[in-house]
Chains A and B, each alone.
Chain A
Amino acid sequence: MKLDLVFSGIGGQGIVVLSDIFCEAALLDGFDVAKAEVHGMAQRGGSIVAYARIGDKVESPLVERGKADVILGFEILETARVLPMLKKGGTVVVNMKYIPPNCTVQGSAELKKPQDLVGMVRKKALKVHEVDGAGIADKVGNPIVVNTVLLGALSALPENPISKETLEKAICSRLKPKFHSINLQAFQLGRESVLLG
């Protein structure tokens, strides 16, 4: 068994926390785990990528280009950016949120249309799950749980070897008790969005 995952989004979206929870759960389920990300240097607002590799034996934390089984994208442009990481026949879960980078607003780079970016994703990936993270988070009643919605979506993929219960346990051990129920609800709705969608 091996699963190479790439998490991609924008600093401040909770990518590091989410990938941590996923890896903690993998460890609880008895897998070897390695992950990598970069923090520090005012990362907020910049592109953030985290890698997670789980399997029976994992030697190093970085995923090779063209070898990722799954991309979990927190934002459309950042999802497109890591497409070269995805293997042939790979799966993408993408949060349907588009945030144009500031350089396009300030005029130093050309703005891309979100539908073109989603087109790139569809062209490369065998399977794409488009998740309305903000809509689901709204249903739960707090925009902050978008990343838990995405974790729910990830958990429903056939590629995911970690049990639902273990992931829920990992969520609860990472977050304060007062946030448990809202996050578990978000997790469940994210799951359903893939299972039913």
Chain B
Amino acid sequence: MTSKIALNKPRSFVLLNGDEAVARGAIEAGIKIASSYPGTPSTEILEAIAEVAKDFGIYAEWSVNEIVATEVAAGASMTGVRSIVSMKHVGLNVAADAAMTLAYTGVEGGMVIAVCDDPAMHSSQNEQDTRFFSVHSNLPLLDAGSPQEASDMTRDAFEISEKLQLPVIVRLTTRVAHGKARVRLSEIQKLARKAKFDKAGSRWVMVPSNAIRQHRTLQHKLAEAKKLVENSKFNVIEDNGKKVGIVGSGVGYYYARSILDTKKFSWLKLGFVYPFPTDLVKTFASKVKKIVVIEELRPYIEENMQRLHMEFLGKDQLGLEELGEFTPDKIRAAFSRLGLCPEAEEQEVLDLPPRPPGLCPGCPHRAFYYALNMVNQFVNCDPEKCVGCVICEYACSWEKEKVFNPVKSRIRAIRLDPLSNAAIACKICKDAPCVAACPEKALAQSTEIGVVTVDEDKCNGCGWCIEACEYGAITLHPTKQKVIVCDLCNGEPECVQFCPEGALSLSGKTTDKIVTGDIGCYTLGVLPPVNTVQTCLCMGAGISQAAGMFHAGVKDKVFAVIGDSTFFHAGMPGLLNIAYNKANVCVIILDNHVVAMTGHQPTPGSGKTALGTNAKIIGLRDVAKGLGIDKVEVVDPYDVKETTKVMREILDYQGPSVIISERPCPLKIEKGPVREVLEECNSCGVCVKVFGCPAISLTAARAEIDPNLCWGCGVCEQVCPFDAIRSTG
């Protein structure tokens, strides 16, 4: 499909998204090397290049992270060939160390850094404006507002890069990168350059004496760049002889053109925006009475104009914010505020339930989170809320004994002092003392969820367990003379549901373990009903945040969840750090053999390269051992029982450990046998409300599995407390 970027038909039109257009521009410029790390919305740049790489003698790779990718591209450029590195905005933070000093060393062959910003954070953890990275680094920047510009700017950026001997940034935003439009193709250049490195070039060695000289050189290059921006074909005045002039960059400029009658205004489109084209903007200002500035995110153009003491109407006057993405609706509201266009008609607001994205049916992450959540859950009571109404006791005795009799309840309301109450149920202790105390071996503790079970045939009502329990959570049944203890009602305790004050909750997830998260599909584990993930900062952060919490002295065990690709990207230094500095952190690597969130790019553990060739599989167990972790376990998350058992064991383990939860992404493999619901189903809802598989829905009578959505993982079968789900295979 994307092979149309290889079409050798100059002047013909094809439909390309902004990423593919960047790829086309790079191919037109005759690149030799392309590198990247996947990240929405930039991923398709390298994908498109890799697909046709062979035809053009291009080497393309998924590097393990963005700084590595940048260094690969820089190394290639140092030998005189053209290279492109692509990444999302936050990837540029990772690559910043290299990029900042590359501005000093400069480049030999043209080098383009394609960066996709994500205003409104469709798929990101922040919204940066990469134009300001140019201010920070002094790297020239072209700001694309359409796929056509993305293609033309990328192609020309290589010329600019070679003229200035500097890497050049081409910036896209989500609506450009993932918007498709008609793109007019240009000639594909064929460069017959041989890679050659000048071993005596002191500009490559950034020791202070050289770096000071190179910093001065950079200032000279910027002066040259300044001349280029003033005459760039990407900075264009459309002078319609009108009073109001509109200056803008990026896609927001085109929203304004869509909404307004273009002939009634004069226009200045800024594309080559760093360094800032001061003279051109001044020229434009002299042609109009009033200037309106339209730019998404930060006020870059505005700040430059302020520096020139120019008057304009900007975000403040237009009521446009520095956050979020522009839409035609926002632009219309802004211009209508100034009386420059009619207001939008009111639209009825519809109150509809949301449909957020979630983990897919069959996702091994959900299965793993279920197992992790099931470790040491118990019914917890908030004494601040509990009023001592004892409705929980009635709910429990009715559920378990079909009578309203508090004496037969497994939960007990007590008065702590004259002003506060609490309800007590089994706390699911590790190595439960009640079990150890029982002389008849009537009590046992489940290895998966830690629930204490009573064998009524063996129990003689001696009450030793009642003595042993420091919470007073075990009672004697008044008529049977056997002990009774909370069994969590298969994960959905009745008492919790009926508590009128909301004082009771099924917890354990947050009260006995901390789970730091990371960047990937598995971050969606923050959503209900999974609710496992408690942090998400940046690539690889979870491991070291966990270490920091441990060293700070938190009493709970800290787990750090990270995907395989994120681990290779930024998790390895963090793991080495906890191994060496002895943090009692359990790092869970969710290994699905692929970068799933961005659309299944290969990882170093997949055995495939960007070009589709085979590669050595880098095993996570070996890496973890090599980084100094002694305790490494591999689990199959589809085996809930075994996974929960291993997680329970690791709770007690002292020292750094790694659990590798290994299952391929279900979207990569054949569907398994679909599951079906049997007559035994009583609609308890565990599969939907606790496990949360989107293929299962719930009616009053029973659960239903949609055979089209079911991926056949079979985890629901293990989760169902009533054995009411089975395989059709």
Q: Give A residues with C-beta under 8 Å from B.
A: 10-11, 20, 23-24, 27, 32-47, 58-67, 77-78, 80-81, 83-84, 88, 100-112, 117, 120, 124, 143, 174
Contacts and interface: CB of A to CB of B under 8 A. Distances in A.
Contacts of A45: 355, 357-358, 360, 694
A83 B181 contact: no
**Closest CB pairs A-B (n = 10):** A46-B357, A40-B40, A41-B123, A109-B353, A84-B347, A60-B254, A61-B179, A101-B355, A64-B328, A36-B179
A40 B41 contact: yes
Contact of A27 (B15, B175, B350): B15
A58 B348 contact: no
Interface in B507-551: 521, 524, 528-529
Contact of A32 (B182, B255, B347): B182
A12 B40 CA distance: 18
B332 interface: yes
Contacts of A101: 353-355
A108 B180 contact: no
Given A60-B328, A109-B353, A111-B353, A37 B178 contact: yes
Contacts of B55: none
A78 B355 contact: yes
B485 to A, nearest CB: 28
A143 B708 contact: yes
A41 B175 contact: no
Interface residues of B, number: 58
Nearest to B252: A60
Contacts of A11: 357
A42 B563 CA distance: 14
Given A59-B254, A64-B328, 14 more contacts: A27-B14, A33-B181, A34-B182, A37-B179, A40-B43, A40-B123, A42-B521, A46-B356, A47-B354, A61-B180, A67-B328, A80-B350, A81-B350, A101-B353
B255 A62 contact: yes
Interface stretch (B437-445, B456-464, B566-574, B593-601): B593-601
Nearest to B693: A102
A46 B355 contact: yes
B700 interface: no
A64 B332 contact: yes
Nearest to B706: A99
A112 B332 CA distance: 32
Nearest to A109: B353
B697 interface: yes
Nearest to A31: B182
B251 interface: yes
Contacts of B529: 106
Given A20-B180, A27-B13, A143-B708, A42 B350 contact: no
A66 B345 contact: yes
Given A60-B328, A77-B352, A38 B123 contact: yes
B183 to A, nearest CB: 10
A84 B351 CA distance: 12
B181 A106 contact: no
Interface in B328-343: 328-329, 332
Contact of B697 (A27, A100, A120): A100
Contacts of A20: 15, 180
Contact of A33 (B180, B359, B692, B697): B180
B328 A63 contact: yes
A80 B528 CA distance: 24
Contact of A105 (B41, B352, B356, B688): B688
B180 A34 contact: yes
B524 A42 contact: yes
Given A33-B181, A33-B182, A40-B598, A112 B355 contact: no
22 contacts: A33-B15, A36-B175, A36-B179, A39-B40, A39-B41, A41-B122, A43-B357, A46-B358, A62-B175, A64-B344, A65-B329, A66-B345, A77-B353, A81-B350, A84-B348, A100-B353, A103-B528, A105-B697, A106-B528, A106-B688, A112-B352, A120-B350
Contact of A10 (B355, B359, B698): B355
B214 to A, nearest CB: 38
Nearest to A54: B182
A35 B176 CA distance: 10
A102 B692 contact: yes
B1 interface: yes
Given A27-B13, A41-B122, A106 B692 contact: yes
A67 B352 CA distance: 21
